[in-house]
Each structure stands twice: as C-alpha cells, then as structure tokens.
Structure 1
Amino acid sequence: MTDLEFMDLAEKLLLAVERSCDDINEASDADIDNQRSGGMITLTFPNRTQIVINLQKPLHEIWMAARSGGYHYRYDGSSWQDTKGEGEFFACLSRAASLQAGIPLTFAG
C-alpha cells in the first residue's frame, strides 16, 4: 500500500468515526464529545474517560488507546484488523466505547 492509499483509507475511517459519534449523540444520551486534530480524534465521555484514535503513517497503521488497552490496526484489503487478532476496528471501538460510556454503543464504517 502506498502512503496515498493509506491516507485515503485512513481518512475514510476517521470520517466514519466522526459520523458515528454524531449519529450516536442524536439517537441516545451518550453525549460523546469528539475533537479532531489532523490525523487524531479524541472521544471524551461524560465520565471524562477518553478514547484516542490516531494515524501512524510510517507504519500504515491506525492506533487506538482506550481504558481497555492500546490497539494497532492494519488494512487487510477489506477492513482494518487488529495486528494481535483482537478483531475489526469498528467492532473493537464499539466494545471499548460501550464499556467507557456504560451503555451499548455501535460505531460503523
């Protein structure tokens, strides 16, 4: 994968995270604050916990830091998969966000 291909796919993922936050906030009382700065999104929950998602361009990876741990994702040709076999990015983000928010949340790509 070239740097340009990575950035295109990664940008789509970040936009999907932002869109999902907006959809979740409209449909529930989750009240997730999402702040974007370049290639990084910080999700802040009402209990002040955070999930940080950022791009690692030299490695062609997306990293996520949550209370449950740190995760690295690589694109496998169809989806962003955890490098240690923990699953697909949006499923993992949904799990981590649900834990931190204390209510079921679903993020989608």
Structure 2
Amino acid sequence: MNNTSGSASMMALGRSALVYCRNPRNQDVSCKMNEVEFNDNIDELYVAIEDAVDELDADVDCEISGGVLTLKAPDGSAMIFSRQSASCELWLAARSGGFHYSWVNGQWYCQRTEQSLVQMLSEISLEQIGEELILE
C-alpha cells in the first residue's frame, strides 16, 4: 500500500481501519493496531521517554506539542519524536540523522538500521546528551 492511498483509506475508514507498517525486512505487514491503539502506544512511549529523561543528571527539557515530543539537550541540540499515524510510524530526528520506526512484535524498529528504538535511543542519547536514555 502506498502512503497516498493508505492515508485516504484510513481517513475513509476512520478509527476502525488497520494501519500498516514495515517490518525490519521492509515488507508490508498489518500492525493489527487501529488508530486509537497506535496513538495510545505512542502516548505510553512518550511518558516512558519523559520518565527516563527525569532520571538523567543532564538538564534536558521535554516538551510535547501536537503529537511531537522534543528533547532539548544542554548544548542546545534537539531530539524530535514525531508520530505518523497515517503510516503507523514514529519518526526521530537527532543530530546523528533521521530514523523511521515501525511497530513489529511489540517493539519499535528502525527500518534502515533494523535496530530497536530502545537500542538506538541509548546510543543516540549518549552521543547527543552525554548520558544513556534507558527505556524500561
């Protein structure tokens, strides 16, 4: 399913539509998650990230606005998480690059690196903030 027709289909079907994502091998699969479940999943993730930030020694600011979670590092750089409901993805923009994550087997996986968000967030935060952001 391409993004254009997928977005239109979801809008036409509303919240009961299944959203589609890609697994680590870049094959289309159904997440078997409707839009409400997807948004609940992202909301829970954002809370977990905020809780992990609270555990850091570094002074990192968290801000959520319109489905976007921004972490501002002490050096002024940012890590920006953005929910993409139409494509069932979480996007992360960081100093080290942009990453797209899909929900596969109960975890968020990067399509490009085939690593989980938990793994990558630990590495990216260590590089950008100077501490590991550990999600539990």
Pairwise same-fold verdict (TM > 0.5): yes
Write the letter of the residue equivalent to 2:44: K
2:101 paired residue number: 73
Per-residue Cα deviation, 1:51-81 (whole angstroms, up to 9, x for no partner): 0001001001000000100001111131111
Task: Give, in angstroms, the shift of residue 86 of structure 1.
Answer: 3.8
Question: Which runs of 5 or more structure 1 residues have no equivalent in the other structure?
Answer: none
Match of 1:46 among 68, 71, 74: 74
Q: Matches of 1:63 and 1:6 in 2, distance apart?
A: 14
- Larger Cα-atom Rg: 2
1:24-39 alignment, distance < 5 Å: 24=56, 28=57, 30-39=58-67
Asked if the contact 2:102–2:108 (Cα under 8 Å) also holds between the matched residues in 1, the reply is yes
2:80 is paired with a residue of what secondary structure? strand
> How high is the TM-score relative to the length of structure 2?
0.71
Q: Matches of 2:113 and 2:127 in 1, distance apart?
A: 20
Question: Which runs of 5 or more structure 2 residues have no equivalent in the other structure?
Answer: 1-32
Would you say how many aligned residue pairs link Structure 1 and Structure 2? 104
Q: Matches of 2:43 and 2:81 in 1, distance apart?
A: 12
Asked if the contact 1:34–1:43 (Cα under 8 Å) also holds between the matched residues in 2, the reply is yes
4+ runs of 1 displaced by more than 6 Å?
A: none
| Aligned-pair identity (%) | 32
Match of 2:117 among 78, 81, 89: 89
Once the two structures are overlaid, the 10-residue window that deviates more, 53-62 or 85-94, is 85-94
2:13 paired residue number: none
1:93 is paired with a residue of what secondary structure? helix
> How high is the TM-score relative to the length of structure 1?
0.88
2:44 paired residue number: 12
Task: Give, in angstroms, the shift of residue 48 of structure 1.
Answer: 0.5
Asked if the contact 1:80–1:88 (Cα under 8 Å) also holds between the matched residues in 2, the reply is yes
